[in-house]
Amino acid sequence: MNHEIEAILPTAPPPIPRRRVLADVREAIRGSQQDYTEGPIGRALLLLAVPMVLETVLESLFALSNIFWVSRLGADAVTTVGLTEAMLTMIYTVAMGLGIGVTAMVSRRIGEKDPDGAARTAVQAVVLGFTVAGAMSLAGGLAAPHLLGLMGASPSVVAEGSGYTRIMFVGNATIVLLFLLNAAFRGAGDAAIAMRVLWLANGINIVLDPLLIFGVGPFPELGIEGAAIATNIGRGTAVLIQLWTLARIGDRLRVYRRHLGIDFAILARLVRLSATGTFQIFVATASWVVLTRLMAGFGTDVVAGYTIAIRVIVFAILPAWGLSNAAATMVGQALGAGKPERAERSVWLATFTNFAFLGTVGVVFAVAAPWIAGAFTSEAMPIHWAVQTLRIVSFGFAFYGAGMVVTQAFNGAGDPWTPTWINLGCFWALELPAAFLLAGAMGPEGVMVAIAVAESSLAIVSGLLFRRGRWKRAQV
């Protein structure tokens, strides 16, 4: 097996001068004109991954900043954010699922040297995004208190947090469109544009959070609702910049008047890919919702600690997710250019990079968990449960990183069904039954063990199926 993997991986290049690496990083941040279907694979991955990693780093910094300020309002406020985020994963599911279809189609068209086809796909993505977001906004806005209650929130959490939950649901169009348009830019290879708009969105969020939560200076004191308003202002501003970029200054991906209107053929293909992608993400995110509901049965302190730990874990996972997205773009464009071997080599290189990175992070979390948790709250029990979550869930971090790359590679190839079946097996057939059984025997730690086992299993199964190569024949 080792010899087979070595045959797939790129041969080791000569050492690259540090000056060249720094120049490539600067080029990646500015926006590269590199043709990602040509040239050294390592450099192409670097140029794509740097802006994707940087955008996710700031996204995770915002998540940590948000929970840092909200935690100053008490355990009920943190629980509100945790339960609302668990419900919002349904919206993230739709946005990410639609994004799978958008990235696969745009990257394939760019690889085929068909920028008009890529632009028409982006327009259909916007149409689909507005339609879906409108329905979810109406339903979530009306039912916010009932949804919190269904998630196991105490009466005090429902009373304090309904406004936050309602605002987040009503403003969900900013989530959906932000995901979809950045998926289009990434598929086109314009990762630097996606990075800049997320920097803008999260920069606004980070600045406005304490101002609106605590009423600093001329700003009103809105409490936890201020956090929701800050988030929607930041994301809404970013969406406007995305649309302006598409219409005015886009390079690889530019929409002109001739691309406007509904193209039912493209829309049908996008819906087909996105529906499968949405179900794929739904399988995973529904598992997280069920696990959060299961945790809620152990009390507010457990949920508060679990929420803090998950935010910290996201801080580590999102940069690895950036490299995974880079691999997906490489796969789509390489297949469009008729170079499946290049696609495969890109995936293995990204896989081993993620494996090493998140393996190191897992060790850090195991050692430093008490100090990390203590930075977010001074309450003893939430700290205890945050430490437990960090140590147990991060046990399989190295495998999580590998699984993320391979799963995204299937999606980038236009084969979302394979990771969908993997998710069904690892999350619904393994993780959820194990969580319920182990929770009864071990308490909250049992749920954490189930997460680690399921995520590691997913990585192993994904790698084995990827080696079979059926994804190379996917049609987009």
Q: What is the pLDDT of residue 434?
A: 92
Q: Say what the pLDDT of residue 99 is.
A: 85
Q: What is the pLDDT of residue 19?
A: 65
Return d(Cα 145, Cα 348) in angstroms, integer.
46
Give the Cα separation of 114 and 17 in Å (integer). 35
Q: What is the pLDDT of residues 14-65, one digit of tens each?
A: 455 556 767 777 777 776 677 788 878 888 888 888 888 787 777 667 766 7
What is residue 13's predicted lDDT score, i.e. its pLDDT?
46
Q: Which pLDDT score, from 0 to 100, does residue 112 have?
A: 86
Residue extents of the structural domains in the chain: 2-11+40-473
Confidence (pLDDT) at 427: 92
Contact criterion met (CB below 8 Å) for 46 and 28? yes
pLDDT computed for residue 170 by the predictor: 82
Confidence at residue 187, expressed as pLDDT on a 0 to 100 scale: 85
| Three-class DSSP labels, the chain | CHHHHHHHCCCCCCCCCHHHHHHHHHHHHHCCCCCCCCCCHHHHHHHHHHHHHHHHHHHHHHHHHHHHHHHHHCHHHHHHHHHHHHHHHHHHHHHHHHHHHHHHHHHHHHHCCCHHHHHHHHHHHHHHHHHHHHHHHHHHHHHHHHHHHHCCCCHHHHHHHHHHHHHHHHCHHHHHHHHHHHHHHHHHCCHHHHHHHHHHHHHHHHHHHHHHHHCCCCCCCCCHHHHHHHHHHHHHHHHHHHHHHHHHHCCCCCCCHHHCCCCHHHHHHHHHHHHHHHHHHHHHHHHHHHHHHHHHCCCHHHHHHHHHHHHHHHHHHHHHHHHHHHHHHHHHHHHHCCCHHHHHHHHHHHHHHHHHHHHHHHHHHHHHHHHHHHCCCCCHHHHHHHHHHHHHHHHHHHHHHHHHHHHHHHHHCCCCHHHHHHHHHHHHHHHHHHHHHHHHHHCHHHHHHHHHHHHHHHHHHHHHHHHHCHHHHCCC
Q: Point out the residues of the chain with pLDDT beneath 50.
A: 1-14
pLDDT at 60: 66
